[in-house]
Structure 1
Amino acid sequence: MGHDLITIYWLKGLEYVLAVSYLPLFVLFWKFVTPTRLAEAPVTVAAPSWADDLAGYFQLPARLFFHPGHAWARVDGPDMVTVGMNDFAQHLVGRIDRLQLPRVGAEVVQGMPALAVESAHRAVDMLSPVSGTVVDVNTAAVGDPATVKQSPYGEGWLFRVKSPQLAANLKSLMNGVFARRWMDAVTDQLAGEFSREELGHVYADGGTPVDGLARSLAHDEWDAMARRYFLTDGGSNA
């Protein structure tokens, strides 16, 4: 009888030891089979900037070359070029009241004033993107300047130039991805200078940004803007 009790107590003790020994293994097993919920890191979403609203807004056709003064050039032949003002320029000026284009036979020089655009009695010179002799002028656009705004890269072209130095001139112009990067930089600069309201961007009524800023600025402010964006000595009061 005494031996039986000893045997029973010995077996119970062994069961207890085994149970205690397996407990850590059970805990590890449970952690392994149970998915751990990781703490979610806080996500910070940056508010859209005013420059983001304007990004890509201004059209830059890939086939054209662009001068930093916002004139464009389209190669029509070995030494023949069509010239116009780009989408950014026509938006900045807004409604065009009068165009002053060079006469046929006049000589234009790359980077020098070649035409003038007037809006609300504020005129600004624009620089020629190429050098050469003017061989044609868009008289239809002169008679109806709204054509330039409606189709700046099409029917709103301004004049054509015979340019013997065309290959050299094109090296100073931008196109493709380089033109887009340049326009993005210009857009960032503009967005940094003016608020949405100042640029005429009203979400509620579906307004378009940067349309006719010239009409909302004082003469001295417009002159300063002309120097910055059209690379001229400034606008003039017509």
Structure 2
Amino acid sequence: MKKQACQHYIKGRIDYRLCTNNYQCENCEFDQYVNDQYAVHVSIKPVNVLDVEGFKIPHGFYLHPGHTWVKIEENAEVRVGIDDFALRLLGPIDNIYAPLLGKKVNQSSPDILLSRDKNEANAMLPISGVVTDVNLKLRDNGSLANKDPYSDGWILRIHADNLRGDLKQLMIGEETKKFFKKEINEVYRIIENESSIQLSADGGTLGYDIYGNLSGVSWERLIKRFLRSV
């Protein structure tokens, strides 16, 4: 009997794996495991948020310097996404791709892929571990992350294998506030020195598509400076 690819590989959920059960999925323990992992994991919309000049991140979320966030859940599981700052910087995202279920990933590896038109960017993972869930909706509708970066726009879930150690490399609370202020000031500096846009006397308010409204500043420049993945 010729072996064929597992249905979950065909659906884009996992790396390549042969079907060893002749597609009798109802009798397959692996199929049950994957379906359990892909059961709906409700992401509750955060209520208390830290607001820094209009840029937001929920209280209790950890932040990576590459603008990816971590929300601790239970049993060493964490939820991961991209912060409000990066998504407003890059503007409406078309597609977001994450490592597949079961993949071993490392902190600061640039394994999240975002695309907008013909532009692509890699964002760094904020935590190490094994991928346990992926938000597949973002593959074809990345703008969900723009609309709701901290709940419906989550990207993946990871079973962390060094949670305490990895969290020491991340920011939270006052550290995040100071970091956001520094990043916002850098955006204003780039606009003033490298773009043809004229700022108002008070600096104005940064919008929801900073890249799309900049003239003279490349996508690559912003990715290298703020996502720090190049």
Instruction: Find the counterpart in structure 2 of residue 59 from structure 1.
Output: 56
Q: Does 82-91 or 116-125 show the bigger shift?
A: 116-125
Q: CA deviation at 1:210?
A: 4.0
Q: What is the CA deviation profile of residues 105-125 of structure 1, one whole-angstrom value per residue up to 9, with x for unaligned ones?
A: 112111111211111211100
Q: CA deviation at 1:78?
A: 3.6
Instruction: Find the counterpart in structure 2 of residue 117 from structure 1.
Output: 114
Query: 1:112, 1:218 → 2: CA distance?
Result: 30
RMSD of aligned residue pairs (Cα, Å): 2.7
1:120–1:215: 8 Å Cα contact kept in structure 2? Answer: no
Instruction: Find the counterpart in structure 1 of residue 141 from structure 2.
Output: 144
Q: CA deviation at 1:143?
A: 3.3
Query: 2:215, 2:112 → 1: CA distance?
Result: 22
Q: CA deviation at 1:156?
A: 0.4
Task: Output the amino acid matched with 1:91.
Answer: R
Q: Does 157-166 or 213-222 show the bigger shift?
A: 213-222
Q: 1:60 to 1:102 in 2, by over 3 A?
A: same
Identity %: 26
Task: Say whether 1:172 aligns with 2:169.
Answer: yes
1:98–1:145: 8 Å Cα contact kept in structure 2? Answer: yes
User: Which one of 86, 89, 92 corresponds to residue 83 of structure 2?
Assistant: 86
What count of residue pairs does the alignment treat as equivalent? Answer: 176
Query: 2:150, 2:181 → 1: CA distance?
Result: 19
Q: 1:213 to 1:120 in 2, by over 3 A?
A: farther
Task: Output the amino acid matched with 2:187.
Answer: L
Instruction: Find the counterpart in structure 2 of residue 225 from structure 1.
Output: 222
Question: Unpaired runs of 5+ in structure 2?
Answer: 1-50
Task: Say whether 1:186 aligns with 2:179.
Answer: no
Instruction: Find the counterpart in structure 1 of residue 67 from structure 2.
Output: 70
Structure of greater Rg: 1
User: Which one of 152, 156, 160 corresponds to residue 153 of structure 2?
Assistant: 156
Give the TM-score normalised by structure 1: 0.67
Structure 1 segments (4+ residues) deviating >6 Å:
199-203
**Secondary structure of the structure 1 residue equivalent to 2:87:** helix
Q: 1:89 to 1:76 in 2, by over 3 A?
A: same
Q: CA deviation at 1:221?
A: 2.1
Structure with greater proportional helix content: 1
Q: CA deviation at 1:199?
A: 9.9
Query: 1:157, 1:199 → 2: CA distance?
Result: 34
Task: Output the amino acid matched with 1:142.
Answer: R
Task: Output the amino acid matched with 1:128.
Answer: L
Question: Unpaired runs of 5+ in structure 1?
Answer: 1-53, 234-238
Query: 2:213, 2:117 → 1: CA distance?
Result: 10
Query: 1:211, 1:200 → 2: CA distance?
Result: 16
**Secondary structure of the structure 2 residue equivalent to 1:111:** coil
2:63–2:69: 8 Å Cα contact kept in structure 1? Answer: yes
Q: CA deviation at 1:188?
A: 1.0
Instruction: Find the counterpart in structure 2 of residue 128 from structure 1.
Output: 125
Task: Output the amino acid matched with 1:147.
Answer: L
